[in-house]
Amino acid sequence: MAQSPAVWLKERLPIDPVAEAVRHKTVPLHRYSIWYYFGGMTLFLFGVQVGTGALLLLYYRPSAGEAYESVQFIMTRVPFGWLIRSIHAWSANLMVAAAFAHFISVVFLHSYRRPRELTWMSGVVLLGLTLAFGFTGYLLPWNELAFFATRVGTDIASAIPLVGEFIVTFTRGGPDVTGATLTRLFGVHVAILPMITTTILLVHLALVQVHGMSIPPGIEKSLKEDGGAKLRAMPFVPHFLLREMFGWTVALALLAGLAAFYPWELGAKADPFKPAPAGIQPEWYFLWMFQVLKLIPPTIAGINGELIAVLALAVVGLAVFFLPFLSTNARRQRIVRSLGWAALLFMAFMTAMAVLTRGSAAQP
């Protein structure tokens, strides 16, 4: 007797354990539940980037002689090329914003606590990778703004003793930003970063499934005080997933609107022999670091100021990576919240300062 397709497939693909896990997955309901949507939003926007990026690859050419012209061709001649390129550029910005909102929520809700240390650490790496996507993608249209911003951005590493010059030469593919840099950053942007990101993302998502969604300590405490009341929860499929999909549809509509009304600009072609025009700045999410480097004095107590800034950033980065092991009790969680607010205010202030003084001061 012929088998039904469902039985045939089940025999070859044991999906029952997966279906069972999905059936039992729930999302806690409390006043901060809205923050559970940001990881999924980041994931959706990553999907948009992979899809639109693959389409751009059909026409883009990664060389100093052809990159700018190929993007111009995509924007003016390829049917819907302008839409795909503008969505890719806008979605990159939204993805950084969503990943950052997700990161902030994990900090303030203390979701990094035991047993989610590895979920957190894989997340910190994902945030770094998201920023690396932004940095490497910025140069690809080979326009003036990106060219000079990449020159300034890659030069920062030269402040590091011993290995600084090597890092600069390695990232640029030579002593200066040239066509070799473009080809190199292209390879990193379309092959190396997607490969690493996909792998770490799978680990991150698997860990989220293993541990389930966390409950903020404040909510846990109020439940205990309520005589051990049980928290309400929503089934992940279909209730939470449908809400997530609604959010993704809104994001897609927003992207389409932004692309249609504010197509991503191309600017003038990069000319390495021209002096840097005024107002060269990196993408908005790097502005605060750029401003810190601009303000720091050339030397502090005889030490290179830029080196001090780079080292301070490295220390903060390490502390963030190991946060679950540093913030282990209620008192330390309060300190993390205060430091979190201070860091947010500092970054917002530096970003505002960079925007307001755009083009009015020398490059760092």
CA distance 85 to 221: 48
112 is a contact residue toward ligand HEM (CB under 6 A): yes
CA distance 125 to 129: 6
DSSP 296-337: S-SEETTEEHHHHHHHHHHHHHHHHHTHHHH--SHHHHHHHH
Distance between start and end Cα atoms, the chain: 77
Give min distance, CB of 259 to ligand HEM, in A. Answer: 22
Judged by CB under 6 A, which of 48, 182, 208, 309 binds ligand HEM? 208
Which CB, 154 or 214, lies closer to ligand HEM? 214
270 is a contact residue toward ligand HEM (CB under 6 A): no
Give min distance, CB of 35 to ligand HEM, in A. Answer: 7
Specify whether the CB–CB gap between 296 and 308 falls below 8 A: yes
CA distance 364 to 362: 6
351 is a contact residue toward ligand HEM (CB under 6 A): no
From residue 228 to residue 267, what is the string marking binding to ligand HEM with x (rule CB under 6 A)?
----------------------------------------
- Which range, of 33-41, 183-191, 298-306, 308-316, touches ligand HEM by CB under 6 A? 33-41
53 is a contact residue toward ligand HEM (CB under 6 A): no
Judged by CB under 6 A, which of 130, 136, 281, 327 binds ligand HEM? 130
Cβ-closest residue to ligand HEM? Answer: 123
Tokens of 208: 């989220």
Give min distance, CB of 49 to ligand HEM, in A. Answer: 10
Q: Who's near 269: CB < 8 A, 6+ residues apart?
A: 68, 142, 143, 144
Closest CA to 343 of 126, 103, 95, 97: 103
With tokens 């197509």, the residue in question is: 263
State the residues that interact with ligand HEM by CB under 6 A. 36, 38-40, 42-43, 46, 99, 102-103, 106, 111-112, 116, 119-120, 123-124, 126-127, 130, 201, 204, 208, 213-214
